[in-house]
Amino acid sequence: MRAWEDQRVSSSESADPRLAPYDAVLVLSFGGPEGQDDVIPFLENVTRGKGIPRERLEEVGEHYRAFGGKSPINDQNRALIAGLEHELAEAGLSIPVYWGNRNWHPYLADELKRMADDGVTRVATFITSAYDSYSGCRQYRENVADAVAEVGPRAPRIDRLRHCFDHPGFISANADGVVGALGELSSEGARNARLVFVTHSIPVTMAETSGPVGGAYVAQHEAVARAVAAQVAERTGVAYEHDLVYCSRSGPPEMPWLEPDVNDHLEALAERGAGSVVMAPIGFLSDHMEVAYDLDTEAMQTAKSLGLEAARAATAGTHPDFIAAVVDLLLERAAVERGENVTRASIGAPGPARDVCPVGCCPNLRGERPALCGEDEPPNPSGDPK
């Protein structure tokens, strides 16, 4: 038995009416290596056809190697699923939770086959990516299309839950993380800290074309940063200044990616006389390798060398508010599919993100490919009326 199999659910009972028409939940994630032998094949999966320079791949490979070749992401997803199962059970909602990844075991297509074997016909999918961009949205939708094509007519019909970035439970979980990190600083450091919100850098062209009308990636992050900072101010009585910066830049050097990089930003803050920072990785749902390496290892080292006092805020992870938010998004979408009117929990503009992506949303700039969960979805291979 492989390490992930203990997470699997083996039968689909009939689901609760509050969850109808769904008979299963799928957590769809990125995937990560489980040991040294997995590192290269994993990186090959991630970067196939992406034009990532060899040196960057070797560098990222070293980050994984330094952690024994094991990404934290799989255990984080196991914990998220356990939390979801617990929350669903507490609410008396009986529905099986499955787990599939785009880049590593358990692969999405294998999980779809298992669902088909279990008699699942209609799935609500939570993608572990909170914001709009090709990487966080359409690319997963393409993976779903590929997996459904591989499984064929037996594949269940898949709906994707809207992005969770603007859900109040995601905001309060992150605000809690920031308040916790402030508590790790000296009392003077905590009073004068700068809140540095961090997310994954992406190519500027990808950011400009993100969402239904472009620019969604940065706009959504700015809204989250503002909302989290406001909640922290309310809870601490201090109106901290904040910034939005980026980590984990990749791609060829001549291609522009979102800036400033977190390390450069720390340097600029130190030059301007800052003494302490809290780094809050709002771009990541849990402690991915980008958090474990790029922030906890590299950026922490940068802060230390600059004489900056620094703490890192916890990610949403398995925070109870966040788990409850995912269950709320599930109930919301089920109600929508039953034709009911819903009130969507949201912090307001620019959200909430749509349930079904319009044509051309978060385009693949390398060329169009089939994608599901959007208005450009090809006819359902199982022949169900839509």
Residue (60 or 324) nearer to ligand HT9, CB:
60
Residue (47 or 382) nearer to ligand HT9, CB:
47
Tell me which H or E stretch contains 158.
strand 157-160
Q: How far is the CB of 151 from ligand HT9 (least distance, A)?
A: 22
Q: How far is the CB of 158 from ligand HT9 (least distance, A)?
A: 17
Residue (210 or 231) nearer to ligand HT9, CB:
210
**Residue 290 assigned as binding residue:** yes
Asked whether 170 and 80 are in contact (CB, 8 A), the reply is: no
Q: How far is the CB of 265 from ligand HT9 (least distance, A)?
A: 18
Strands 276-280, 309-312: pairing is parallel
Which residue has the closest beta carbon to ligand HT9? 250
**DSSP H stretches of helix in the chain:** 36-47, 54-66, 73-90, 108-117, 139-151, 168-182, 187-191, 204-208, 216-236, 262-271, 289, 300-305, 320-337
Residue (209 or 250) nearer to ligand HT9, CB:
250
Q: How far is the CB of 226 from ligand HT9 (least distance, A)?
A: 20
Distance (Å, rounded) from C-alpha 130 to C-alpha 197?
15
Strands 276-280, 97-101: pairing is unpaired
**Residue 71 assigned as binding residue:** yes
Asked whether 61 and 45 are in contact (CB, 8 A), the reply is: no
Q: By CB under 6 A, name the binding residues for ligand HT9.
A: 30, 32, 43, 46-47, 50, 52, 56, 60, 71-73, 128-129, 133, 135-136, 200, 202, 248, 250-251, 288-290
Q: How far is the CB of 50 from ligand HT9 (least distance, A)?
A: 4
**Residue 382 assigned as binding residue:** no
For residue 199, which of 188, 210, 212, 189 has the smallest C-alpha distance?
A: 210
For residue 312, which of 197, 228, 171 has the smallest C-alpha distance?
A: 197
**Residue 200 assigned as binding residue:** yes
Residue (52 or 270) nearer to ligand HT9, CB:
52
Binding-site residue numbers for Fe(2+) are 200, 290
Annotated binding site for Fe-coproporphyrin III: 71, 140
